[in-house]
C-alpha cells in the first residue's frame, strides 16, 4: 500500500520541523487576531473587576467551549512536530501544557486592556486543554508513522534479499546446467571416438 502524502511529509525530520514551526506561527497569529482585534488597548480600561473568575458556568454556549478547546490545539500539534525525536513524548506533552496555559494567560491578560474584550479564567484551562489534546494526538500518530516506515524498509530489504538470492540460485542452476550439457557433449564425443580407435 502506498503511503499517504501526510505520511511522506511527516517522515522527513527537516520537513516535519518546518511544518511544525509554520503551524506554531500560524496558530499564534490567528489566536491573537481572533482574541485581541481591533487591538485598542487602554491603561484606563484595565481592572481586575473585568475578569470573570469562574472556571465553569452552566448554561454557557457549547460553541464557545468547543472553539476555545480547538483554538490552541494546532499549537500543541506544531510543538510535537518540532520537538519529536529530540525529547521524550512525556516531556513534550508537559511543554505543550506549559505553552498552552502560558499563551492563554498572555491573551487573557492583554484582554484586560481591551475594552471590547472580556477576559475569562475559564478560557485559560480550555485553551490549555486544547493545546494538550493536540499535542497528545500528534504524539501518538508520529510513532505509528515511524513503525510503518521501519516495516516498509524491512519489507523492501527482505524483497531485495529474496531477489538477490533468487538471482544467485538461477545463475547457479544455469551454470550447473551448462556444465552438465558440456559433460554430455564430451561423453558423446568420447563414445563416438572409441570404436574408431578400436578399429584402427
User: pLDDT digits over 149-162, tens only?
Assistant: 677 666 555 555 55
For 140-163, b/e burial (b = at least 16 CB within 10 A) is: eebeebeeeeeeeeeeeeeeeeee
- Checking 25-31 for CB contacts under 8 A at 24+ apart, the result is 26/74, 27/71, 27/72, 27/74, 27/75, 27/78, 28/75, 28/103, 31/71, 31/72, 31/75, 31/103, 31/107
pLDDT at 185 over 90: no
Q: Give this prediction's pTM.
A: 0.70
User: What is the rounded CA–CA span in Å between residue 74 and residue 137?
Assistant: 10
pLDDT tens for 76-111 read: 999 999 998 888 888 988 999 999 999 999 999 999
Provide the CA 26 distance to its chain's centre, in angstroms. 18
Closest CA to 119 of 68, 172, 84, 62: 68
Amino acid at each position: 500500500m502506498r503511503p499517504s502524502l501526510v505520511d511522506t511529509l511527516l517522515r522527513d525530520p527537516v520537513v516535519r520541523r518546518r511544518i511544525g514551526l509554520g503551524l506554531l506561527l500560524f496558530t499564534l497569529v490567528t489566536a491573537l487576531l481572533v482574541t485581541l482585534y481591533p487591538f485598542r488597548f487602554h491603561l484606563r480600561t484595565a481592572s481586575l473587576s473585568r475578569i470573570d473568575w469562574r472556571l465553569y458556568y452552566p448554561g454557557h454556549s457549547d460553541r464557545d467551549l468547543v472553539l476555545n478547546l480547538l483554538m490552541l490545539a494546532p499549537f500543541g500539534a506544531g510543538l510535537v512536530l518540532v520537538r519529536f525525536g529530540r525529547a521524550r513524548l512525556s516531556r513534550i506533552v508537559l511543554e505543550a501544557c506549559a505553552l498552552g496555559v502560558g499563551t492563554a494567560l498572555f491573551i487573557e491578560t492583554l484582554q484586560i486592556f481591551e475594552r471590547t474584550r472580556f477576559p475569562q479564567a475559564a478560557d485559560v484551562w480550555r485553551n490549555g486543554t486544547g493545546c494538550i489534546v493536540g499535542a497528545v494526538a500528534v504524539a501518538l500518530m508520529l510513532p505509528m508513522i515511524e513503525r510503518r516506515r521501519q516495516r516498509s524498509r524491512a519489507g523492501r530489504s527482505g524483497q531485495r534479499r529474496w531477489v538477490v538470492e533468487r538471482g544467485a540460485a538461477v545463475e547457479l542452476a544455469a551454470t550447473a546446467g551448462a556444465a552438465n550439457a558440456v559433460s554430455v557433449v564430451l561423453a558423446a564425443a568420447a563414445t563416438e571416438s572409441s570404436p574408431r580407435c578400436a578399429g584402427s
